[in-house]
A and B are shown apart, each in its own frame.
Chain A
């Protein structure tokens, strides 16, 4: 672990631990919902990458914005979302964050500054940069963080917006979660040269950090967020991490692109939660029993939220053409002038 215990207080550490465990618990339950055929569609698990979302989001306030990805449950939890509204969204229920209209790949939580997951790889890079433009123009002091995968670095949009962010010194942090794969392809097969060098080519300060070490991620994020607030941005961070599950929950037989040994090695030696738990114990911040207690409490919370979501109501059919346009109750009568 990178940090020395004295810099934070115990509460911060425990919150980071709990947030990582919450993400893991959320994903374990989401996976179970899929395997038991209770969840419509597919979903992408964040398990293994928890230290990235938590390390960064713990450096942000609710007014700071993030944009997220198809693998977005972790960002959503880390930014402060509630289990019940998240599970409701995954099951397409009316009490979901998006009234069941977005689902796993579009989950957004405006109240905590999460501008939403995005099912277009790299699709939110402009949105995050635009949020930073608002922050700069309106002098709000807010920062925007754009989460994206290694695969998204192949999208041209990133280079367009990095260029503008650098020209205009926008308070945006591009956080690339390099989990080694985009779908079923290794990163080295799709990315030439180095990722940090790409940002540096625009004059953007770039960092590479161990994405399994929540303290290292948080320490870097705290510094960069503070500097971005002062107008020293943008920044780029490459976070080296690993996804534990398949590309999506249905990607089960994956030996053809990724070996079981490789997966086992990350899980047993690099797990962000286990390692941080051990460190907390070593520092005398918690006991092993207390960690077990935290884990059990969160597990029970997640299970209760799942039960709640399973019992919750679907949105009524008449909502199907609501929310197409802001200020219009029903789009279908609006677009043909019948509502006039």
Chain B
């Protein structure tokens, strides 16, 4: 049986199911209990699991992330709620120097099975410190797994996998998608890490879109279809590990690739994926791999400006048309 639920509800179900399944799982963060977070993602959990397992904290991000690391090292499986992805800068030491390296530094003796769930995404008119998409920062660090759900279905399946993983996993949800509905099975399912999802098959060009850029790519593909251009759309679902075989197979088939991601374009996820395709599928390509990312400016407040900074279906379709036409124009 499948029903349509919001991304927010999907995350909530994943956490609740895993908390029922495993007593060592707990949720910790600011206003996660009665308030259910500002996005109401965790509403209802405290009523079922009590304040011992749904823990409201003071506004002390490094403190509670550090505590999650220590709790994870000693037999708990904490899920940390970091209210905004922008706050990841505050917890970098605990996440990148402690959580990410503990297993390695201890020669495999200590484990850190924790999930840090946070968000990304601009156009919520929240300005420069509440709109960033900072997943590239953590994907850069060995020892962290990084998941990027693109709909309610992925949000639930990836969250359940993350909670059961014995490593620190960072999940970035798109905060603009919390109310978006998608079909989600009633039955239990998990989505393994490192398995990209081919959402639409095509022959002329491959559009790789992470998180909500998946929908941007799907809309672009529809528009392109009207022009007779057949676009394949792929959602990598996790950045670490990255399902390179699926991406490369598609690149070799279509010979043209655009990578779309909401992080800043410079030194980011799009560049990383593009260069892996260049390194491993170069002789199958008919055009340079293009990158579309967030504009390399802090996110502005004014809607008139903010909307200029994120990749849109029109921009993706335009870039695709020029690639297919053999024009070496530079997108973005």
Binding site for B on A (CB under 8 A): 65, 67, 96-102, 106, 108, 110, 115-116, 118, 120, 123-135, 137-138, 144, 156-157, 160-161, 163-164, 167, 322-327, 331, 334-338, 340
* Number of interchain pairs (Cβ within 8 Å): 175
**Known interface pairs A130-B67, A130-B68, A133-B70; 12 further A-B residue pairs with C-beta atoms within 8 A, sorted by A's residue number:** A126-B98, A134-B74, A134-B75, A137-B26, A160-B58, A323-B106, A325-B143, A326-B111, A327-B167, A334-B194, A337-B243, A340-B195
Q: List 18 A-B contacts (CB under 8 A).
A: A97-B106, A97-B107, A101-B104, A101-B106, A102-B107, A115-B73, A126-B69, A127-B66, A127-B69, A128-B70, A129-B63, A129-B70, A157-B94, A160-B62, A327-B165, A336-B244, A336-B276, A337-B242
Query: Are B241 and A334 closer than 8 Å at their CB atoms?
Result: yes
Separation in Å of the A21 CB from the closest CB of chain B?
A: 27
Binding site for A on B (CB under 8 A): 24, 26, 52-53, 57-58, 60, 62-76, 78, 93-94, 97-98, 102-111, 113, 142-143, 145, 165-167, 194-195, 240-246, 276
Contact A116:B106 (CB < 8 A) given known A126-B67, A138-B76 = yes
Closest 5 pairs (CB-CB, A-B): A126-B66, A130-B70, A160-B63, A99-B107, A127-B70
Which residues of the other chain, A, contact B195 by a CB distance below 8 angstroms? 340
Query: Are A335 and B71 closer than 8 Å at their CB atoms?
Result: no
Alpha-carbon separation in the docked complex, A145 to B150 (Å) = 42
Alpha-carbon separation in the docked complex, A323 to B111 (Å) = 10
Query: Are A131 and B108 closer than 8 Å at their CB atoms?
Result: no
Which residues of the other chain, B, contact A125 by a CB distance below 8 angstroms? 66
Alpha-carbon separation in the docked complex, A114 to B66 (Å) = 17
Alpha-carbon separation in the docked complex, A156 to B92 (Å) = 14
Which residues of the other chain, B, contact A324 by a CB distance below 8 angstroms? 103-104, 142-143
Query: Are B245 and A340 closer than 8 Å at their CB atoms?
Result: yes
Return the contact of B70 from the options A97, A134, A156, A331 (Cβ within 8 A): A134
Which residues of the other chain, B, contact A167 by a CB distance below 8 angstroms? 58
Query: Are A126 and B242 closer than 8 Å at their CB atoms?
Result: no
Alpha-carbon separation in the docked complex, A131 to B60 (Å) = 17
Separation in Å of the A185 CB from the closest CB of chain B?
A: 21
Query: Are A133 and B67 closer than 8 Å at their CB atoms?
Result: yes
Chain A residue at minimal CB-CB distance from B57: A164
Alpha-carbon separation in the docked complex, A67 to B106 (Å) = 13
Return the contact of B110 from the options A96, A100, A115, A161 (Cβ within 8 A): A115
Which residues of the other chain, B, contact A163 by a CB distance below 8 angstroms? 58, 60, 63
Separation in Å of the B273 CB from the closest CB of chain A?
A: 11
Which residues of the other chain, B, contact A128 by a CB distance below 8 angstroms? 70
Chain B residue at minimal CB-CB distance from A133: B71
Which residues of the other chain, B, contact A108 by a CB distance below 8 angstroms? 105-106, 109-110
Which residues of the other chain, A, contact B75 by a CB distance below 8 angstroms? 134, 138
Which residues of the other chain, A, contact B166 by a CB distance below 8 angstroms? 326-327
Which residues of the other chain, A, contact B64 by a CB distance below 8 angstroms? 126, 160, 164
Alpha-carbon separation in the docked complex, A276 to B5 (Å) = 69
Alpha-carbon separation in the docked complex, A8 to B240 (Å) = 55
Which residues of the other chain, A, contact B65 by a CB distance below 8 angstroms? 126
Return the contact of A131 from the options B74, B242, B276 (Cβ within 8 A): B74
Which residues of the other chain, A, contact B60 by a CB distance below 8 angstroms? 160-161, 163-164
Separation in Å of the A34 CB from the closest CB of chain B?
A: 21
Alpha-carbon separation in the docked complex, A75 to B53 (Å) = 32
Contact A126:B58 (CB < 8 A) given known A133-B70, A337-B242 = no
Alpha-carbon separation in the docked complex, A15 to B258 (Å) = 67
Query: Are A130 and B62 closer than 8 Å at their CB atoms?
Result: no
Query: Are B105 and A110 closer than 8 Å at their CB atoms?
Result: no
Query: Are A322 and B70 closer than 8 Å at their CB atoms?
Result: no
Query: Are A130 and B194 closer than 8 Å at their CB atoms?
Result: no
Alpha-carbon separation in the docked complex, A2 to B199 (Å) = 73
Alpha-carbon separation in the docked complex, A144 to B166 (Å) = 22
Query: Are A340 and B243 closer than 8 Å at their CB atoms?
Result: yes
Chain B residue at minimal CB-CB distance from A129: B67
Which residues of the other chain, A, contact B109 by a CB distance below 8 angstroms? 97-98, 108, 110
Chain B residue at minimal CB-CB distance from A168: B55
- Central interface residue in B26, B68, B72, B109, by most chain A CB within 10 Å: B109
Contact A337:B93 (CB < 8 A) given known A325-B103, A326-B108 = no
Alpha-carbon separation in the docked complex, A127 to B24 (Å) = 17
Chain B residue at minimal CB-CB distance from A327: B166
Query: Are A120 and B97 closer than 8 Å at their CB atoms?
Result: yes
Separation in Å of the A329 CB from the closest CB of chain B?
A: 10
Query: Are B105 and A98 closer than 8 Å at their CB atoms?
Result: yes
Chain B residue at minimal CB-CB distance from A89: B107
Contact A127:B76 (CB < 8 A) given known A160-B63, A325-B145 = no
Query: Are B107 and A116 closer than 8 Å at their CB atoms?
Result: no
Which residues of the other chain, B, contact A156 by a CB distance below 8 angstroms? 62
Alpha-carbon separation in the docked complex, A125 to B240 (Å) = 28
Separation in Å of the B129 CB from the closest CB of chain A?
A: 19
Separation in Å of the B263 CB from the closest CB of chain A?
A: 18
Which residues of the other chain, A, contact B276 by a CB distance below 8 angstroms? 336
Query: Are B66 and A130 closer than 8 Å at their CB atoms?
Result: yes
Alpha-carbon separation in the docked complex, A44 to B246 (Å) = 49
Which residues of the other chain, A, contact B108 by a CB distance below 8 angstroms? 99, 322-323, 326
